[in-house]
Structure 1
Amino acid sequence: MKTRLPLILLFNALGLALFMSWYLPVNHGFWFPLDSSIFHFFNHGLVESRVYLWFVALTNNRAFDACSLLAMGCLMLTFWIPADQSGRRRVVVIGLTMLLLAVVLNQLGQLLIPVKRASPSLFFTDIYRVSDLLNFPTKDASKDSFPGDHGMMLLIFATVMLRYFGKKAFSIALLIFVVFAFPRVMIGAHWFTDIAVGSLSVVLIGMPWCLMTPLSDKIIGLFDRHLPQKNKI
């Protein structure tokens, strides 16, 4: 992969513009009414339907987070199973590269973005919290919700799938992103903009430098050279 500098800078500009459209205006401009409307829409549903209440609680339980990892693993498994020995090894090292990029980019995003804000379930008063309505372990609040780390990892996974496995895999990865990231918004543990602005802007700025340069290929090559050959799958 040759460095595609014009496209990298375009994605960086889009990411920066997206973040600034939220960060610079007083009270986050038009984003705050959107955030508030989305939160209250889902929050009112918690007392209108017991089925919905349990759905939101279950989809924000830690076990459901494990299901997101399982879904990503299953998607990669569809490429691993039909591959030969070298192809299977490549799928594994791409997965390891994705995890490394996700950890590094998530840490950089948390450190460099000058934002700390509580989730809507802690910001608003006179609202409903799942933890008050059910005696069930679930994540319904966060003292520092921006950017959304869970959504960021799922978006990073989607970009890696696009780079190495094609558009169809990317489409499925985006579906996984929606299914597993937005329950956090529904329960009030994240604002909509924690994901739509925070996670997305970090990915738009960071991932092009990884995937549109030789960097990700070099990391894959590094893993391939140093992983024990006896572990070829």
Structure 2
Amino acid sequence: MKTRYSLIVLLNVAGLALFFSWYLPANHGFWFPLDSTIFHFFNRGLAENRAYLWFVALTNNRAFDACSLLAMGSLMLTFWLREDRNGRRRVVMIGLTMLLIAVVLNQLAQLLMPVQRESPSLFFTDITRVSDLLDFPTKDASKDSFPGDHGMMLLIFSAIMLRYFGQKAFGVALIIVVVFAFPRVMIGAHWFTDIVVGSLSAVLIGLPWCLMTPLSDKIIQCFDRYLPGNNKI
């Protein structure tokens, strides 16, 4: 792929504008009322509806995180099954590249974003926490929730699917994002803006330099060259 500088710069500007629209205003401007409304909307039903309480608890259990990996892996598996031996190896290399990019971007975002923010379940008082109602392992709080690392991983996965597998795969990946990222918002472990500002802005700033330049292709080639199983002469 040729480097698409104009689109990269456009996406970077959009990511910076999104981040600073939240970071610069006092009390985060219009974003805080939106965050508060969304949190209280989901929180108020926890003490009133036992089925809803269990649904939120289950979808924030570590096993549900494993389900997100299973969903991503299943989508990639559909493409792996269609390929010949070399094509299947390439799908695996794309998956490894996605993991590498996700780890690096997440670490950079945590390092460079000047924000340390506790989750809404710790910020607000007189609210309901799932861990107070159920003796069940679930994540309902975080002392540093910005940006949402889980949401960032899912967004990177979506972008990888668009880059290498097309728009239909991208559409399915976006559904996976919603299904597996927003339970964190429902339980109060993340603010809405941890994902739609923190995760998304980090992805808009960092990921284009990987996917709209030859970098991701070179990483795939590097994995293919040096990892076992390459029988090319």
TM range (shorter): over 0.9
TM score, norm. by length of structure 2: 0.98
What is the CA distance between 1:92 and its match in structure 2? Answer: 0.2
In 1, the alpha carbon distance for the partners of 2:83 and 2:176 equals 23
What does residue 132 of structure 2 align with?
132
> Is the 2:43–2:127 Cα contact (8 Å) retained in structure 1?
yes
In 2, the alpha carbon distance for the partners of 1:65 and 1:164 equals 24
Change (3 A) 1:120 1:231: farther
In 1, the alpha carbon distance for the partners of 2:181 and 2:54 equals 17
For 1:30, the aligned partner's letter is: F
What is the CA distance between 1:117 and its match in structure 2? Answer: 0.6
In 1, the alpha carbon distance for the partners of 2:129 and 2:202 equals 29
> Is the 2:121–2:188 Cα contact (8 Å) retained in structure 1?
yes
What is the CA distance between 1:229 and its match in structure 2? Answer: 1.9
What is the CA distance between 1:82 and its match in structure 2? Answer: 1.4
In 2, the alpha carbon distance for the partners of 1:47 and 1:153 equals 31
Q: Greater CA deviation, 40-49 or 16-25?
A: 40-49
What does residue 90 of structure 1 align with?
90
What is the CA distance between 1:123 and its match in structure 2? Answer: 0.2
For 1:156, the aligned partner's letter is: I
For 1:161, the aligned partner's letter is: M
In 2, the alpha carbon distance for the partners of 1:184 and 1:111 equals 22
Report whether the alignment pairs 1:14 with 2:40. Answer: no
For 2:35, the aligned partner's letter is: D
> Is the 2:224–2:230 Cα contact (8 Å) retained in structure 1?
no
What is the CA distance between 1:167 and its match in structure 2? Answer: 0.3
Aligned residue for 2:45, secondary structure, equals: helix
What does residue 174 of structure 2 align with?
174
For 1:86, the aligned partner's letter is: N
Report whether the alignment pairs 1:42 with 2:42. Answer: yes
The Cα offsets for residues 100-124 of structure 1, whole Å up to 9 and x where unpaired, read as 0000000000000000010000000
For 2:56, the aligned partner's letter is: V
State how many pairs are aligned. Answer: 232
What does residue 99 of structure 1 align with?
99
Report whether the alignment pairs 1:189 with 2:225. Answer: no
What does residue 161 of structure 1 align with?
161
What is the CA distance between 1:231 and its match in structure 2? Answer: 8.9
Aligned residue for 1:136, secondary structure, equals: coil
Unaligned regions of 5+ residues in structure 1, if any? none
In 2, the alpha carbon distance for the partners of 1:231 and 1:81 equals 20
The sequence identity of aligned pairs, in percent, is: 81
Aligned residue for 1:101, secondary structure, equals: helix
Aligned residue for 1:147, secondary structure, equals: coil
What does residue 4 of structure 2 align with?
4
TM score, norm. by length of structure 1: 0.98
For 2:135, the aligned partner's letter is: N
Aligned residue for 1:47, secondary structure, equals: coil
For 1:97, the aligned partner's letter is: T
What is the CA distance between 1:230 and its match in structure 2? Answer: 6.2
In 2, the alpha carbon distance for the partners of 1:219 and 1:230 equals 15
Q: 4+ residue runs of structure 1 moved beyond 6 angstroms? A: none
